[in-house]
């Protein structure tokens, strides 16, 4: 008997995201069960319900999606969910708190169309946020040298530490942290970069006209902020490989089409096995398959 594809949406916000729900339906999910206000403390019955209703060989037809505007809360939910699994009794899980994984993967893959990531230098502005941190992590794993930027040195050094704790000390020499208040230091990094990623909060300008003019080595610039003013001066939200001089520019909407494809393909992948964990790195693999 073929069993319906059931996705359980666990969201840390009081009202589960309608965006994530619609993408689930568009990805072929047949039954969507959406829960808000989910936390590690109250999720056990929801996960047990997923684990104990179907035979182990049919568990691939049930999966869990973890969303919500707080990506860190999503990580805690994922850890608590996976603690409940044992032996073959598990379901596949995808994490995309605030769209951070799918957005970061789409940004990195868009850049990879224009520069060879393994021998490039990248500047990741807004590097203390969930998207910036994931962009940096994915770039480092592709061999890129990354400079992480934030307004505050303590915060950016702490973000650097978290990335290195995740990836291991081998990446230490390729990850720098710079505060944007160090104007000269930032100018030097801008001038040396091949790829610029604007991952700052919505509606915040990270690089002004003068700073963008310094970036004459950059071959790609990606601004993930869709709310005016643009995060990187001169880039429009709708830019999609818009050529300006030697540089290809992308705005948030320009990256959005690929992000949506990656999101849908990742949901579909959940239903191929019952023990997948789709975090940034695994979603990157899904994205790479779409790009090839
Ligand atoms: N296209 C999509 O589907 C999609 C999906 C998800 C996110 N996004 C966009 O991607 C961007 C990054 O998302 P996120 O959730 O990682 O962002 P976020 O957490 O809201 O902000 C990222 C960083 O921006 C910096 N920032 C905040 N206010 C600032 C200000 N006034 N001036 C300068 N810097 C400021 C902060 O770093 P410091 O305080 O350390 O400087 C913060 O850690 C956002 O613009 C978001 O809207 C797009």
Protein residues whose CB sits closer than 6 Å to any atom of ligand 1: 98-99, 103, 126, 128-132, 150-152, 155, 199-202, 204, 224-226, 252, 256, 259
Tens of pLDDT, residues 211-233: 999 999 999 999 999 999 999 99
Angle at 103 between CA 97 and CA 105, to 5 degrees: 110
**For every residue of the chain, which 3-state class applies, written as one string?**
CCCCCEEEEEECCCCCCHHHHHHHHHCCCCEEEEECCCCCCCCHHHHHHHHCCCCHHHHHHEEEEEECCCHHHHHHHHHHHHHHCECCECCEEEECHHHHHHHHHHHHHHHHCCCCHHHCEEEEECCCCHHHHHHHHHHHHCCCEEEEEECCHHHHHHHHHHHHHHHCHHHHHHEEEEECCCHHHHHHHHHHCCEEEECCCCCCCCECHHHHHHCCCCCEEEECCCCCCCCECCCCCCCEEEEECCEEEECHHHHHHHHHHHHHHHHHHHCCCCCCEECHHHHHHHHHHHHC
pLDDT band for position 262 (50/70/90)?
very high
* Ligand 1 nearest atom to the CA of residue 159, by list position: 40
Average pLDDT over residues 127-136: 97
Supply the residue whose CA is at minimum distance from atom 48 of ligand 1: 224
What is 6-95's CATH number?
Answer: 3.40.50.10280
pLDDT band for position 251 (50/70/90)?
very high
CA 128–ligand 1 middle distance (angstroms): 8
- Tell me the CB-side half-sphere exposure of residue 291, using CA atoms within 13 A: 20
Other C-beta atoms closer than 10 Å to the C-beta of 244 total 12
Average pLDDT over residues 264-283: 98
CA 275–ligand 1 middle distance (angstroms): 32
CA 167–ligand 1 middle distance (angstroms): 22
Domain with CATH 3.40.50.720 in the chain: 101-255
Cα–Cα dist 158/146, whole Å: 15
> How much of the chain exceeds pLDDT 70, in percent?
100
Q: What is the pLDDT of residue 2?
A: 77
CA 200–ligand 1 middle distance (angstroms): 3
Cα–Cα dist 157/214, whole Å: 24
Q: What is the pLDDT of residue 1?
A: 64
Q: What is the pLDDT of residue 248?
A: 98
pLDDT band for position 292 (50/70/90)?
confident
Domain with CATH 3.40.50.10280 in the chain: 6-95
Supply the residue whose CA is at minimum distance from atom 18 of ligand 1: 201
At the topology level, CATH places domain 101-255 in Rossmann fold (3.40.50)
What pTM value is reported for the model? 0.97
Tens of pLDDT, residues 52-70: 999 999 999 999 999 999 9
**Residue 107 in this model has a pLDDT that exceeds 90:** yes
Average pLDDT over residues 77-82: 97
Tens of pLDDT, residues 163-193: 999 999 999 999 999 999 999 999 999 999 9
């Amino acid at each position: 008997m073929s069993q319906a594809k059931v996705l359980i949406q666990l969201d840390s916000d009081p009202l589960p995201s309608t965006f994530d729900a619609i993408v689930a339906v568009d990805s072929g999910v047949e039954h969507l069960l959406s829960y808000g206000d989910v936390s590690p403390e109250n999720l056990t019955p929801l996960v047990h319900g997923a684990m104990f209703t179907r035979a182990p060989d049919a568990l691939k037809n049930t999966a869990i999606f973890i969303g919500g505007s707080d990506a860190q809360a999503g990580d805690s939910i994922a850890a608590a969910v996976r603690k409940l699994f044992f032996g073959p009794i598990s379901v596949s899980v995808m994490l995309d708190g605030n769209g951070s994984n799918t957005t970061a993967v789409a940004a990195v893959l868009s850049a990879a169309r224009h520069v060879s990531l393994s021998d490039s230098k990248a500047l990741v502005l807004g590097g203390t946020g969930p998207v910036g941190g994931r962009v940096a992590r994915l770039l480092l794993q592709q061999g890129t040298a990354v400079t992480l930027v934030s307004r505050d040195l303590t915060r950016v050094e702490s973000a650097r530490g978290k990335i290195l704790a995740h990836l291991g000390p081998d990446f230490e020499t390729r990850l720098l942290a710079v505060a944007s208040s160090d104007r000269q230091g930032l100018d030097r990094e801008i001038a040396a970069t091949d790829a610029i990623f604007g991952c700052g909060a919505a509606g915040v300008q990270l690089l002004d006209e003068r700073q963008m003019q310094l970036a004459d080595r950059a071959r790609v610039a990606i601004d993930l902020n869709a709310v005016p003013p643009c995060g990187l001066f001169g880039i429009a939200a709708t830019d999609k490989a818009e050529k300006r001089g030697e540089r290809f520019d992308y705005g948030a909407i320009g990256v959005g089409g690929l992000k949506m494809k990656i999101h849908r393909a990742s949901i579909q992948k959940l239903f191929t096995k019952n023990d997948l964990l789709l975090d940034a790195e695994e979603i990157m693999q899904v994205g790479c398959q779409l790009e090839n």
